Amino acid sequence: MTGKTVSQIAAEASGRWCDIFPLVGVNIPEGKKHGPCPVCGGKDRFRMDDKNGRGDWICNQCGNGDGLDLVRRVHNTSIMDAARRVSEAIGNAPASEKLPVAGESVAGNRQTAGGAERDGRGTQTVRNLMKYAVMGESHYLTAKGLPGHPVPLLKDGSILLTLRDAGGVVRGGQLIRANGEKRLLSGTAKRGAFIPVVDNLPDTADTVIIAEGFASAVSAAMLARGVTVAALDAGNMLHVARAMREKYPCAQIIMAADNDWYQPGETDEHGKPRVNTGKMWAEKAAAAVGGLVSLPPTEYKADWNDYFHQHGIDAAALAFRDGCYSPVKPAAGTGRQANFVEKKPVQQHGDAPDLYDMAASERAELLSQRYQSLALRAENDVVHHYDGTVWRPLPDSELKRVMADIYRQNTTKFSAGKIASTVDTLKLMLPLMGEQAQNLIGFRNGVYNMETLSFRPHSENDWMLNHNGVEFLPPCDGENIREHAPAFWRWLNHAAYGSTEKMRRICAALYMVMTNRHNWQLFVEVTGAGGSGKSVFTHIARQLVGENNVASCNMASMDTARGRAPLTGKSLIILPDQPRYVGEGTGIKAITGGDLVEVDAKYEKPYSTIIRAVVLATNNEPMVFTERNGGIARRRVIFVFDAEVPKAERDEQLPEKISAEIPVIIRHLLREFPQPEQARQQLMEQLKSVEALAIKRRTNPVIDLCGYLLFMTEPKGMMLGGGKFVAPEPKTYLYHLYLAFAEYYGLKNIMTVESFSKAVREAAREYGSEYLTRKVKGYTQTNVSIAQDAGEFLPRAWGCKPPDDD
């Protein structure tokens, strides 16, 4: 709670409760009216009068209290926890974006669209709430039969919709709870404002469709082509229609009215005859702008979402088109003639030949309308759908099933061949996906730009294939990992033996994982004794990228096309508890090198692709690579974890504790490495570190041998040797020295002279040296001499004693 008292938090919340309640999951009636109590649920018992800005409320059943008390009761928690929730709501935003106090003017938010008017309080409220919203599919729309329409969602599942005017200026917002309850945000200017089904209105339009509610508008957009908006209620349709006529003077405007049907002679609760409100206001709006009305043809109360849900898309589209009528028939010479727009054919999504007679391209267009945004990933020929946060793959099998559903809904015969040709044609029609920018980190609620050091909402043009599933929030004042991520700090300090230098390098490895820096062409190997923290390293890495973005395999599977299939589309490849490995490392070298590799997934055509993922291996015994050309050595970043935690001191809940600290860890990594190159330099230093060299000496005999050699600046040292010889001369010939070394340590696979010479050239670089040779009378001379500590494996004459230790 950032050290503040309950009284201080209550003082900061004063005058802001109408904006705070939605952020903390408290649903109150709109405009200080009586309504259901958010605590007991009783109808018409509750009212929030907000006296003196303290969020005061009263309920006939629950009593009364202030804003903090209401938060406490709704969440059935302590007053301290309620204060913490309120503090997060008003304190997580940067200072320039704090929630406004009632009556406070919001300066600096002037927009120029449509008259450059100053934003109102409702605009600021929407922006504050949007920081906590994530794109996703809502229970409300799904229950309305409208899946596949991502919308901004708050933590409690409520939809947050933005109201705009015809000039694009934000006028406020609407919340739609998961149960369908709707309320306007405080400060919203509703008159003439609307919710567009698609965010940005075009400059021109042939047809404009105006519905009452958002679900009705989404449904209408599926039934006919045109710019579609929701006016929120019947009375606002007139004002929205006039605004749209001004913006689109030549467009056909259709009022997608609600049919508030009633029985003939039916009266309301006051004994007055009932009126079909939806029809009446739609006709008034259409008459004012020379538009048309389309009313669901039912003898019961229904909107276009109800009709679509009950009769299917094709029957609803036909009814929408055929039911259009003009409420005004202009008489010659009347003033209405100028406003009347002659009825044109409504552009139907279904207007075309019957489904059975459609061409493949027409069927593909029909299929694409089931989704809002589609694109094709060229490298694997897979269609992807943008869900509001990332582009997710749509397998051909799923597209075929959806197309088959379209045929069944239209009671039209079909064949597997027709469906397959539809999917193939769709792929030819779709735009190709772009490449994800390397400067972006994907979070659940937006993207962080590492170049501008700023956070913004998701955009389909980011071409992101995944995100880490973590909600990004600004840090609290004075945030640091020692105090705000103590479990992570304890693990990090232990793994690095308290070394600040090694702690920073471990953080650099986590930064590479988090930011998916596969283009650095490095991989991380964490090796050491069991119980030393290696599995925690892997756990943190998984949390940083999100479990859905992780693939697990072994070294052998990376070498085969079939084994690489599960790795595509992932951002982290983990090789957990890797058994002892001896091999060339062909697969890991190709993947980390950014090479095209062949992939052979089941039931799909083999293809070549670049696997854009960071590789992390953990093992008790370091891997042994027989490749001696440097391809592995220049990619392999080794961390040694050999400080085993005593069993009595092990915390079995440590991974769960660190998981709760992930947002703090992410912010720490971004602060620690504001420029990606800083993290890469730390890893390059670790690659050349003493502990890494010690592991390489254990696993590479040539590197180990070079540790007993001295490299001079000129090739005037030992001769290389080779060919036939009567007796070995290891003090004269380098290759003979290698043979003596191999015999002493029991090495079986002896290298040829040429291979050995190439291996020495690469191994010398591990010591920061250069291996040089020259030709002298046909013999190869090197710049190598023997160090004093090589005597252990050099052969000695019988009876010679080792030198004394001075």
Is 801 inside a domain boundary? no
Please give the C-alpha separations between residue 786 and each of 69, 684, 779, 790, 791, in angstroms, as whole numbers: 80, 29, 19, 7, 9
Distance CA 119, CA 373 (A): 31
pLDDT at residue 412 above 80? yes
**Of 150 and 271, the one with more pLDDT:** 150
Distance CA 298, CA 135 (A): 35
Residue 506 confidence (pLDDT): 97
Give the CATH number, domain containing residue 178.
3.40.1360.10
**Do residues 693 and 707 share a domain?**
no
Residue bearing tokens 């040089």: 772
**Do residues 46 and 164 share a domain?**
no
Q: Give residue-wise pLDDT tens across range 174-184.
A: 999 888 888 88
pLDDT at residue 89 above 80? no
Distance CA 654, CA 691 (A): 26
Is 373 inside a domain boundary? yes
Distance CA 373, CA 149 (A): 10
Phi, psi of 348 (to 5 degrees): -95, 145
DSSP codes, 333-363: T-GGGGG--------BTT-SS-GGG--HHHH
Is 443 inside a domain boundary? no
Q: Give residue-wise pLDDT tens across range 528-538.
A: 888 889 999 99
**Do residues 693 and 706 share a domain?**
no
Give the CATH number, domain containing residue 47.
3.90.580.10
Residue 214 confidence (pLDDT): 95
Domain count, the chain: 5
**Do residues 79 and 137 share a domain?**
no
Residue 491 confidence (pLDDT): 95
Domain boundary among 339, 372, 395: 339
What's the pLDDT band for 685 if we cut at 50, 70, 90? Answer: very high
Q: How many residues does the chain have?
A: 806
Q: Which domain holds residue 518?
A: 481-697
Please give the C-alpha separations between residue 260 and each of 299, 596, 673, in angstroms, as whole numbers: 9, 61, 60
Is 451 inside a domain boundary? no
**Do residues 511 and 540 share a domain?**
yes
What's the pLDDT band for 110 if we cut at 50, 70, 90? Answer: very low
pLDDT at residue 782 above 90? yes
Is 116 inside a domain boundary? no
pLDDT at residue 187 above 50? yes
pTM above 0.75, yes or no: no
Q: Which long-range contacts (CB under 8 A, 24 or more apart) does 449-455 make?
A: 450/515, 450/670, 450/674, 450/675, 450/676, 453/670, 453/674
Domain boundary among 405, 429, 453: 429
- Average pLDDT of the chain is 83
Bridge partners of 759? none
Residue range 304-332: mean pLDDT, rounded: 82
Nearest to 675 by CA among 397, 357, 439: 439
**Do residues 399 and 413 share a domain?**
yes
**Do residues 92 and 23 share a domain?**
yes
Structural contact between residues 555 and 585, judged by C-beta atoms closer than 8 angstroms:
yes
Domain boundary among 297, 315, 339: 339
Residue range 583-610: mean pLDDT, rounded: 87
pLDDT at residue 2 above 70? no
Q: Give the best-scoring range by mean pLDDT among 251-255, 583-587, 746-750.
A: 251-255
Distance CA 584, CA 630 (A): 11
**Do residues 532 and 624 share a domain?**
yes
Distance from the Cα of residue 368 to its chain's centroid = 23
Least confident of 103-117, 227-241, 341-355: 103-117
Q: Give residue-wise pLDDT tens across range 360-394.
A: 998 898 888 877 689 998 877 899 998 888 888 99
**Do residues 132 and 245 share a domain?**
yes
Q: Which two three-digit tokens encode residue 536?
A: 């925690």
**Do residues 290 and 385 share a domain?**
no
Which amino acid is it at 373? S
Residue 92 confidence (pLDDT): 42
**Do residues 132 and 78 share a domain?**
no
Please give the C-alpha separations between residue 780 and each of 513, 726, 739, 755, in angstroms, as whole numbers: 45, 19, 17, 14
Residue range 502-522: mean pLDDT, rounded: 95
Residue 31 confidence (pLDDT): 60
pLDDT at residue 107 above 50? no
Residue 520 confidence (pLDDT): 95
Give the CATH number, domain containing residue 551.
3.40.50.300
Distance CA 692, CA 695 (A): 5
- The angle at the Cα of 368, spanning 548 to 388, to the nearest 5 degrees, equals 40
Residue 94 confidence (pLDDT): 34
Burial class (CB in 10 A: 0-12, 13-18, 19+), 250: exposed
**Of 791 and 589, the one with more pLDDT:** 589
What's the pLDDT band for 638 if we cut at 50, 70, 90? Answer: very high
Is 476 inside a domain boundary? no
Residue range 73-94: mean pLDDT, rounded: 72
Give the CATH number, domain containing residue 709.
1.10.10.10
Distance CA 228, CA 214 (A): 10
Is 111 inside a domain boundary? no
Is 564 inside a domain boundary? yes
Least confident of 322-326, 371-375, 588-592, 659-663: 371-375
Which amino acid is it at 153? L
**Do residues 125 and 89 share a domain?**
no
pLDDT at residue 341 above 90? no
pLDDT at residue 546 above 90? no
| Residue spans of beta strands (DSSP E) within 296-410 | 374-377, 382-386, 391-394
pLDDT at residue 663 above 50? yes
Q: Give residue-wise pLDDT tens across range 606-623.
A: 888 899 999 999 988 888
Residue 668 confidence (pLDDT): 93
Least confident of 93-102, 134-143, 161-170, 409-418: 93-102
Structural contact between residues 71 and 16, judged by C-beta atoms closer than 8 angstroms:
no
Q: Give residue-wise pLDDT tens across range 111-131.
A: 333 333 345 556 777 877 787
Residue 286: its H or E element: helix 277-289
Residue range 278-287: mean pLDDT, rounded: 92
| Mutual angle of helices 753-766 and 734-745, in 10-degree steps | 80
Residue 121 confidence (pLDDT): 53
